[in-house]
Amino acid sequence: DLPSPLVLVLLQVSVWQELQAVRTEISELEKEKLRISETVRTLVLFLLQLPEYTQALQKGRDVRNRLNQLYLRDAELDQEHYSQALRLPNNTHPDVPVGDESQARVVELVGRKAEFDFKPRGHVELGEALGLIRQRHLSHVSGHRSYYLRGAGARLQIALQNFALDTLQRRGFVPMVVPDMLKAVVFEGCGMQPNAHLSQVYSLDPARFPDLNLAGTGEVGVAGYFMDHAVNWKDLPVRTVCSSTCYRAETDTGREAWGLYRVHHFNKVEMFGVTANETGQESSQLLEEYVSLQKEMFSALELHYRVLDMPTEELGLPAYRKYDIEAWMPGRNSYGEVSSASNCTDYQSRRLNILYEREDGSLQYAHTVNATACAIPRMIISILETHQTKDRTVRVPQALQPYLGLEVIERPKYAPLKYIGPNQHSRPPRPGPNAR
């Protein structure tokens, strides 16, 4: 568990005080070093006669040795100060519920739970029957928590992606393609810790690719685009949308080991915003706008969902306020998170040096807002389980039909592959050599 913010602040103060003391001593010794040098130059004409020369030389050596020690300590303290500063969370909105996940406040319920005259099936059962999803027999191919989408499953991913991108571009969002691999400083600036124990971040082999990590969300890539840049005030708020592949280690949980709910890789459409900070309300207004867009898209997909105002222990480090949306998933018989939206105020912009330029030319730290537009695997779960029929087909929501080109997802005409690999009770014999 992370220490409380108060403990972190006290640690910060302690390190800061020691760092300042070290730097004060460095400054004094560097001045003394200059004085000694002047003394040596003055006395150099009297080298043979004056014992002060030998004393000054020795004193100079002592000062240099001490400075070398202090330089090392200064670097260590500076790194410690930086590392502890990264663990400090943002402030929280006064209306945010206090506590753990159980204290999440339901802001709104939208739609009604789907009703069936049969026992609803889970998305894995439906996906396998319809030839959409494959998770079986992959341990020797791509490992745990991986999957394939095929046929209408692959088309469904592309359709959802294009549906979200089109919806947002019609609202003035600027599309972007972002890198999947980024430096640790960008993750840290976003409030993530790629080098922490049990981090959710995949890191590339440091011997070959030093300081490169795979992004778990498009937010990191877009934030890196704005890093060390200033936006013209006339362009605010900047609304950006990107579609990217996300990679997550999922090292801290054994939950949802099967299915698409928790996987190591997935595609996601992400909204990112940069706003001014003149009234202090700009980013809060953009957060509400992003949540409204999420609701519009999920309602168009004919889902039942609830909007949650997340409590303090669920905000993570950067969020000032965060809303989660959970869709009803009949096969799981529970709500499941399909999106989140966070107002990070100036938490990320101060770490990443994201600013905006006022009309008078002065610079001010911006505010950032991020939100999920469409997390593909969880949206596939919601659609398959909500719109399934008794005959094991899936009705396609009307808003998605132009993108998918189907009204109903049915079993494909081609036969499923037959597994002939290892770990079988009765493995079929291999064909013999070709006759020559």
Which phi-psi region, left, alpha or beta, contains residue 319 (left: φ > 0; alpha: ψ -120 to 50)?
beta
By the 8 A CB rule, do 47 and 53 touch? yes
231 is in an annotated binding site: no
Residue 264, marked binder: yes
Closest-CA residue to 130 (of 323, 385, 313, 394) = 394
Q: Which of 301, 375, 291, 267 is nearest to 341 (CA)?
A: 291
Distance between CA atoms of 349 and 355, rounded to whole angstroms? 7
**Residue 92 annotated as lining a ligand binding site:** no
Q: Is 203 annotated as a binding residue?
A: no
Contact (Cβ atoms closer than 8 angstroms) between residue 60 and residue 290: no
Give the total residue count for the chain: 436
Largest Cα–Cα separation, the chain:
110
* Residue 270 assigned ligand-binding role: yes
Chain position carrying tokens 């919601």: 382
For residue 139, say whether it is annotated as part of any ligand binding site. Answer: no
Is 366 marked as binding a ligand? no
Residues 6+ away with beta carbon under 8 Å from 49: none
In Å, what is the CA distance from 99 to each residue of 279, 310, 324? 29, 9, 16
Asked whether residue 266 is marked as a ligand-binding residue, the answer is yes
Q: Which of 307, 379, 387 is nearest to 161 (CA)?
A: 379
Residue 248 annotated as binding site = yes
Q: Has 265 been labeled as part of a binding site?
A: yes
Q: Is 188 annotated as a binding residue?
A: no
| Residue 151 zone, left/alpha/beta (φ > 0; ψ -120 to 50; rest) | left
243 is in an annotated binding site: no
Q: Are 409 and 401 a contacting pair, CB within 8 Å?
A: no
Known binding positions for L-serine:
217, 248, 270, 370
Known binding positions for ATP:
248-250, 263-266, 337-340
Known binding positions:
217, 248-250, 263-266, 270, 337-340, 370
